[in-house]
Amino acid sequence: MADFVEINSTPEDNFTEADFKLKNNVEDIMIDTNFASQSFWKEVGAQFIKKKSAVFGLIAIIIITVLAIIGPGMNEYSYSDQDLLKKNFAPRIPGIESVGIFDGTEKISTTTGTKEINYYEEQKQPDVYFWFGSDNFGRDIWTRTWSGARVSLIIAVAAAIIDMLIGMSYGLISGYFGGRVDMVMQRILEVSNGIPRLVIVTLLLLVLNPGIITIVFALMLTEWIGMSRIARAEMLKLKEQEFVLASRTLGARPLFIIFKEVLPNIIGPIITQVMFSIPTAIFTEAFLSFVGLGIPVPQCSLGSLISEGFNSFTTHPYQIVPPIIVMALLMLSFNLVADGMREALDPKFKEM
Amino acid sequence: MRRYVLKRVLTAVFTLLAILLVLFILMQLMPGSPFNDEKLNADQRALLYAKYGLDQPVPVQFLRYVGNMLRGDFGVSYKISKNTPISQLIASRLPISIRIGLFAVTIGALIGLVLGLVAALFHDTFIDTIATIISVIGVSVPSYVFALALSFEFGFKLSWFPMLFNSQHELASSVLPSVSLSMFTMASIARFTRSEMMEVLGSEYMLLAESKGISGGALIFRHALRNALIPIITVLAPLIVDLMTGSLVVEKIFAIPGVGSLLVNAIQSNDYNVVISLSFIYSAMYIAIMLVVDILYGIIDPRIRLAKEGD
């Protein structure tokens, strides 16, 4: 409607005599300027940008990703450098320290009361700055937080993409062929869905050596089911449509129809599902690290940082705060972006 | 209906068998041995293997294993508490985990329902925004972060509740763990209730009810909420299972002597028998819940039953 009004109000409304002549077979008549369709992705993008929470999520993800890439290189520390002389230093940032916050002092609660301690002065390290503080091995928490975020992101994104490939293919094939193939594949899926993923992941990690690849593998085995359900449902909706029939009539093979004809039409719901499975993967990784099945030391992930910080979180709370905030923000942002994408891609959600 | 129930039960039985097979295979693959004590020589080790039946061929071990598991005989713990029957270990710890889980589900479901209902009724207002923010945060922040925050604020700083579980004050000790576990349930239920209510409120039968002169509480509770509640049953089942996962970490944080902390200890000390038995219990509970919910859903909503039969 808006387009219509806009076009009527343009100066081109001043008709000339040429406008009333028959055009015959000029190509101009093929172009419908009033109802010109916008490209699908342009429309989705416009819908997405309208939702403030989704844009906030996207910006937060970009900032965290950039910091995960460049953050560990921004100061002279590495994630594994230990220096017991500099352990448990509170956050101290040059410049801000003169204001009175982040100046390296922390309150220690003891049985006799609380007192303020500045380890930088006590250990005679006036030139040392730990932006987020240091842990109980004297490692820089800024560096460790961002390299942890890097590991968590790599695990989550890799797991989500592999899940997508497996689940998508499984669901599409099951949905397209139908009949007995579908029956068998769905029974297999039901049985694997009945196994709690906590159990599989835990047992797998006990058997295999811990590390990034193992965790991705364990996540891969458990997270493809939701994706395959969505792919199958979409396939069932589309496979009776004329364009599939046309392609089949032209002699296209099943695999060509599945991946070249149908897949491009259902890419929206699939991407949305990937966005939803990333926070799940981050959470599962964090959970595994907390239980003691995560990334081996001295490497770290957000989960292992939280579980390290947990041991001293009543005495040095600043050690656990950065990884928790980064992880919560990351999960929140991915959920917000996924919500926004779902609404932008699915017109049914627009009214809600 | 009978065919539908039979099909669900059969699937459940096969799932259980598949789990037993997976657990058994994994147990064979486990690194190390429960008897890697350096003081033992080869003969003594062989004696121990014979005692626990570990020298039999694999299929025999598996059959005996299935029989034992189904009879509730999980064998003995090798490490955590030497030679104690695992069923006894679990029986003493399961009630407390279930109690905290039930608290969490109840709190989460009730608050989530109210939050979702209010958000839907005052749709697109300030109240709706607040409810949405709460539910998005609840879904995105893991339960153990809530557990740590609550335990720091109300346990350590304010000392309102015990930081660690104390069996003398069980009720007070259960508050913080239950609340932190319930956050995810609450948030999911709130989101789901909101979208279901919105759909029901916009339906034609609500318009009919309204034009018949029904209003206020009767309209919302008897006509809208009842219909919106049906699909909520389906999300409740996976949520209860998520609680099990959450309980592992939350039990560790609050030092609750439940099955979650038992599993963590067993994982860390390589007590395979305990890990396997607990995995079996978790899986059996999961399958039972899924089965009950599926059948319940089929009874409540005939469309599901018919659709699945035609499948």
Task: Specify the DSSP class assigned to residue A95.
Answer: T
Architecture of domain B94-257: Orthogonal Bundle (1.10)
Query: Is B18's CB within 8 Å of A200's CB?
Result: no
C-alpha A141/C-alpha A152 separation (Å) is: 16
**Can you give the pLDDT at residue B77?**
74
Option in B26, B139, B145 nearest A324 (CB): B145
> What size, in residues, is chain A?
352
For residue B112 the two structure tokens come to: 């989530």
Helix locations, B30-125, DSSP H: 42-51, 58-70, 86-121
Does the pLDDT of residue A86 top 60, yes or no?
Answer: yes
A113-118 and A105-110: which strand pairing? antiparallel
Query: Which among A203, A287, A336 has the least Cβ separation from residue B26?
Result: A203
Q: Do A203 and B144 touch (CB under 8 A)?
A: no
Confidence bin at A148 (pLDDT 50/70/90): confident
Residue B18 sits at the chain A interface (C-beta within 8 Å): yes
- Amino acid at site A203: L
Q: Are the Cβ atoms of B15 and A190 closer than 8 angstroms? A: yes
Q: Which two tokens stand for residue B215?
A: 């209003």
Beta partners for residue A103, in sequence order: A92
pLDDT of residue A214: 81
Residue A104 has pLDDT above 70, yes or no: no
- Cβ neighbors of B205 (< 8 A, separation 6 or more) are B223
Over residues A187-236, the pLDDT tens digits come to 888 777 777 777 777 777 777 777 788 888 888 877 788 888 888 888 88
Measured on CA atoms in the order B141, B146, B152, B154, is the torsion positive or negative?
positive
Residues B278, B266: contact at Cβ < 8 Å? yes
Residues 6+ apart with CB under 8 A from A42: none
CA A160, A165, A169, A170 torsion-angle sign:
negative
Assess contact for A137 and A145: CB atoms under 8 A.
no
Q: Which domains does chain A have, with CATH numbers?
A: 50-76+139-351 (1.10.3720.10), 90-122 (no CATH)
Residue located via tokens 């509170």: A90
- pLDDT of res. A98: 64
Nearest Cα to Cα of residue A274 among A342, A325, A218, A215: A342
The CA distance from B10 to B28, in Å, is 27
Whole-angstrom Cα distance, residue A161 to residue A220?
9
Question: Would you state the pLDDT for residue B284?
Answer: 84
What CA–CA distances, in Å, run from A73 to A78, A96, A155, A248?
8, 21, 21, 55
Q: pLDDT at position A128, please?
A: 67
pLDDT, one tens digit per residue, over B121-149 is 887 788 888 888 888 888 877 777 888 88
List, for chain B, all residue ranges whose pLDDT scores fall below the cut of 50. Answer: 309-311
Structure tokens at A247: 């392609």
Alpha-carbon distances of A297 from A64, A171, B66, B253, B293, rounded to whole Å: 23, 38, 38, 21, 42
- Provide, as residue numbers in chain A, all residues whose Cβ is less than 8 Å from the Cβ of B29: 207
**Distance, CA of B255 to CA of B251 (rounded, Å):** 5
Query: Would you kindly state where each structural domain of chain B is located, as residue ranges?
Result: 1-91+273-311, 94-257
Angstrom CA distances, A315 to A125, A135, B186, stand at 21, 12, 31
* Residues 207-266, chain B, touching A (beta carbon < 8 A): 241, 244-245, 248-249, 252-253, 263-264
Q: At A39, give phi and psi (nearest 5°).
A: -65, 145
